[in-house]
Amino acid sequence: MPLILSVLKLNPVLVVAYLVGVVAIATPITLALNYTDRQSLRELESQAAILASQALRRNEQITDQVYQAVQEMEAASLQDPCSPQAMERMIRASMRASRLQAVGYVENNRLLCSSLGFHGAGLDVGTAEYVSPGGLAVRSDRRLPYDDKSLFRISASVKSGYTAIVHTDNAFDIVDNDAEFGVGLIGLGNMRPISQVGIWKPEWARRLGQAHRLSFYDGDYVVALERSSRYAYFTYAAIPGQRLQGSWKSQAMWLVPLGVAAGLILGFSVYLVTRQQLGLPAQLRSALRRGELYLLYQPIIHLASGQWVGAEALLRWRRPDGEHVSPAVFIPMAERTQLIGRITAHVLDRVAHEAGALLRARPDFFISVNFASTDLHDPALFEQLEDVVRRHGIRPACVHIEATERTFIDAAGTREHIQRIRGLGHQVVIDDFGTGYSSLSYLTQLEVDGLKIDKSFVDTIGTDAVTSHVVSHIIAMARSLKLLMVAEGVETEAQAAYLRERGVQLAQGWLFARPMRIDALQAQLVVAKGSAQA
Ligand code: C2E
Ligand code: MG
Ligand code: MG
């Protein structure tokens, strides 16, 4: 798994966040789909149950009328079942019965006469497939010469031969014939269809058991069965299950991609927030270990000559996914979480390794390293500074320390540390001068080598901002104390000219150069030196 992640260059936090997001969205969607699935199953089941119930009512009504007609004929106790008298009764019986097409007489599998007339030698109706416990011999789906398109159910009394004829459709015209529905009447005696339209599966009958009514989904069809309480049969209705999957699928078609997209967005937000809020110190720690921190060097220029005399080492953090985190974010956080000491130690080490050769070759050049508040009170760092410089054969004067001004609240304690660093041969300048506790008295007490005029003041040069006069006060103050002045964030020629005219020695800013890799700095210095010699 870690191998896959590293091959795909995936951040495990991001992967977990994505998974959380996808699960968070997919779960309710799946539940909702599952719910609608069960909901539509329930709907189809009740549709099927209604059909089975309607079919049962209709068939019971037909059976009632069949018995009524047969009994009526039998009650007349006629000698000849096909006499004109008998046939007149047949006509009356069939006219009264709304569901019967005809009433007749069957003997030896032949319909000899009916309310439709004499049938000569008789119409062959074949043997009955089913004999009901009530004594009706039932012949299903028979054709009669009067209408060759229709099928009829012919139910004859075993005892008397009197017969009722019913159009098969009459029994099941509750459902649309075109649909792939199944509906039918099943005899309890042999569990086979007495008559039916559409699909029928024998295994459905076995499910009924002793139940009065039942509905289920067999994977293909939603089926409902209902047993008659008066006759030895039950009806069924079957609705194809594609209708179920159809509704499920059509919803899933747009719900699932929508959910996954929402999950990804949610996951990414969770990832961003988690990274910002919770994981940053831990990630910075592992960034240190994994070498995600690197240095850029921003040249510092001698304003009078335009020559590059030094460079400030500025830390950068590039995550494995390519995203940069600003030092304005991670440096204050490192200060709060006591990580800054390790970071400064790392910077000292990198500077010595990367710029050692340059500083040995150019002893007049310097690199500025930023020290945070607590670094100035950290004896281990002083030892490292001394050690690193010595081991790499670097002149201490080639490494400047920029101390942030907000550190100097305890002026007396800080003074001692600054003097110790200066005692090693380094220059100490106050960074971001003018933004914190800057005052003339601090400057005199601390005995530093110089100050960096903060970009916010340089920005006001040539404008009518209320603070625009501050820069001239800072310059006057620094000059009176004979301090080195470095102007930060110089972006225009006008700012450079103003600073130059007032005796500010050094400047740093995009006007001259942006922060760059050590090899770019080295290459530029070689070119500059070459052109100076020429
Ligand atoms: P800083 O020490 O005052 O560094 C100067 C900042 O101004 C740098 O921002 C630099 O890139 C930026 N800058 C320089 N010239 C211009 C310009 O002409 N225009 C504009 N807009 N910006 C300019 P960066 O690198 O983002 O650093 C921000 C702060 O993070 C630094 O301010 C410093 O306080 C801290 N920092 C950076 N690297 C380190 C480090 O290695 N250690 C410590 N302790 N702090 C660091
Ligand atoms: Mg600085
Ligand atoms: Mg600064």
Contact 11, 321 (CB under 8 A): yes
Q: How far is the CA of 447 from the centre of ligand 1 (A)?
A: 24
Which pLDDT belongs to residue 248?
A: 60
Kindly tell me if the per-residue pLDDT of 168 is higher than 80: yes
Q: Is residue 471 part of a domain?
A: yes
Last residue of a domain, one of 230, 252, 274: 252
Q: How far is the CA of 176 from the centre of ligand 2 (A)?
A: 85
3-state secondary structure of 16: helix
Q: How far apart are CA 125 and CA 437, in angstroms?
A: 117
Q: How far apart are CA 433 and CA 436, in angstroms?
A: 7
| pLDDT, tens only, 311-351 | 999 999 998 888 899 999 899 889 888 899 999 999 999 99
pTM of the predicted structure, to 2 decimals: 0.55
Examine the domain organization and report whether 334 and 189 are in the same domain: no
Q: How far apart are CA 92 and CA 94, in angstroms?
A: 5
Q: Is residue 5 part of a domain?
A: no
Q: What's the CATH number where 444 sits?
A: 3.20.20.450
Q: Which atom of ligand 1 is nearest to the CA of 510?
A: 18
Please name which ligand lies nearest the alpha carbon of 351: 1
Q: How far apart are CA 301 and CA 323, in angstroms?
A: 30
Tracing tokens 């992640």 back to the chain, one arrives at 5
Q: How far apart are CA 358 and CA 529, in angstroms?
A: 13
Confidence tier at 444 by pLDDT (50, 70, 90): confident
Q: How far apart are CA 136 and CA 163, in angstroms?
A: 9
Token duo for residue 297: 């060097």
Per mean pLDDT, which of 41-55, 177-191, 445-459 is the most reliable?
445-459
Q: How far is the CA of 506 from the centre of ligand 2 (A)?
A: 14
Q: Is residue 258 part of a domain?
A: no
Q: How far is the CA of 298 from the centre of ligand 1 (A)?
A: 9
Residues 6+ apart with CB under 8 A from 39: none
The Cβ of residue 135 has, within 10 Å, a number of other Cβ atoms equal to 13
Please choose, from the candidates 284, 304, 281, the residue with its C-alpha nearest in 3D space to the C-alpha of residue 292.
Answer: 284
Examine the domain organization and report whether 299 and 360 are in the same domain: yes
Q: How far is the CA of 402 from the centre of ligand 2 (A)?
A: 6
Examine the domain organization and report whether 303 and 237 are in the same domain: no
Report strand pairing: 308-318 vs 366-371.
parallel
Enumerate residues lining ligand 1, CB below 6 A.
298, 313-315, 326-328, 331, 344, 347, 370, 372, 402, 431-432, 455, 488-491, 508-510, 515
Query: Whole domain around residue 512: which residue ranges?
Result: 286-529
Last residue of a domain, one of 199, 234, 252: 252
The Cβ of residue 511 has, within 10 Å, a number of other Cβ atoms equal to 15
Last residue of a domain, one of 231, 252, 273: 252
Confidence tier at 304 by pLDDT (50, 70, 90): very high
Task: Count how many domains the chain has.
Answer: 2
Helix, strand, coil shares, percent, the chain, to 5: 50, 25, 25
Q: Is residue 475 part of a domain?
A: yes
Examine the domain organization and report whether 346 and 492 are in the same domain: yes
Q: Is residue 225 part of a domain?
A: yes
Which pLDDT belongs to residue 250?
A: 66
Examine the domain organization and report whether 459 and 333 are in the same domain: yes
**For the residues 32-40, what does the mean pLDDT come to?**
73
For residue 418, the number of C-alpha atoms closer than 13 Å in the C-beta half-sphere is 28
| pLDDT, tens only, 212-235 | 999 999 888 999 999 999 999 999
Looking at the chain, the whole-number percentage of residues with pLDDT higher than 90 is 52
Q: How far apart are CA 376 and CA 182, in angstroms?
A: 90
Rg (CA), the chain: 50
Q: How far is the CA of 432 from the centre of ligand 2 (A)?
A: 7
Examine the domain organization and report whether 322 and 368 are in the same domain: yes
CA angle 23, 284, 2 (to 5 degrees): 45
Confidence tier at 120 by pLDDT (50, 70, 90): confident
Q: Is residue 280 part of a domain?
A: no
Examine the domain organization and report whether 217 and 296 are in the same domain: no
Kindly tell me if the per-residue pLDDT of 533 is higher than 50: no
Examine the domain organization and report whether 122 and 238 are in the same domain: yes
Examine the domain organization and report whether 359 and 462 are in the same domain: yes
In sequence order, the β-bridge partners of residue 238 are 182, 223
Kindly tell me if the per-residue pLDDT of 409 is higher than 60: no
Examine the domain organization and report whether 319 and 442 are in the same domain: yes
Q: Is residue 273 part of a domain?
A: no
Please name which ligand lies nearest the alpha carbon of 489: 1
| Burial of 402 per CB tally in 10 Å (0-12, 13-18, 19+) | buried
Pocket probe for ligand 1: among 293, 314, 370, 492, the residue whose CB has the most ligand atoms within 8 Å is 314
> Which residue puts its alpha carbon closest to atom 42 of ligand 1?
370
Q: How far apart are CA 467 and CA 460, in angstroms?
A: 7
Residues 6+ apart with CB under 8 A from 224: 45, 48, 49, 51, 52, 53, 213, 214, 215, 236, 237
Please name which ligand lies nearest the alpha carbon of 371: 1
Which pLDDT belongs to residue 534?
A: 42
| pLDDT, tens only, 67-97 | 999 999 999 888 899 999 999 999 999 999 9
Which pLDDT belongs to residue 283?
A: 86
> Which residue puts its alpha carbon closest to atom 20 of ligand 1?
489
Token duo for residue 50: 């209604």
| Burial of 192 per CB tally in 10 Å (0-12, 13-18, 19+) | middle
Confidence tier at 175 by pLDDT (50, 70, 90): low
The Cβ of residue 201 has, within 10 Å, a number of other Cβ atoms equal to 14
Examine the domain organization and report whether 311 and 430 are in the same domain: yes
Confidence tier at 277 by pLDDT (50, 70, 90): low
Which pLDDT belongs to residue 377?
A: 86
Residue type, 513: A
Examine the domain organization and report whether 44 and 125 are in the same domain: yes
| pLDDT, tens only, 232-276 | 999 999 988 776 655 566 666 777 777 778 878 887 887 777 666
Q: How far is the CA of 435 from the centre of ligand 3 (A)?
A: 10
3-state secondary structure of 17: helix
H-helix or E-strand spanning residue 96: helix 84-96
Confidence tier at 7 by pLDDT (50, 70, 90): very low
Q: Is residue 23 part of a domain?
A: no
Q: Any idea which of 25-29, 191-195, 522-526 has the lowest mean pLDDT?
A: 25-29
**Counting every residue, how long is the chain?**
534
Q: Any idea which of 193-197, 259-263, 423-427 has the lowest mean pLDDT?
A: 259-263
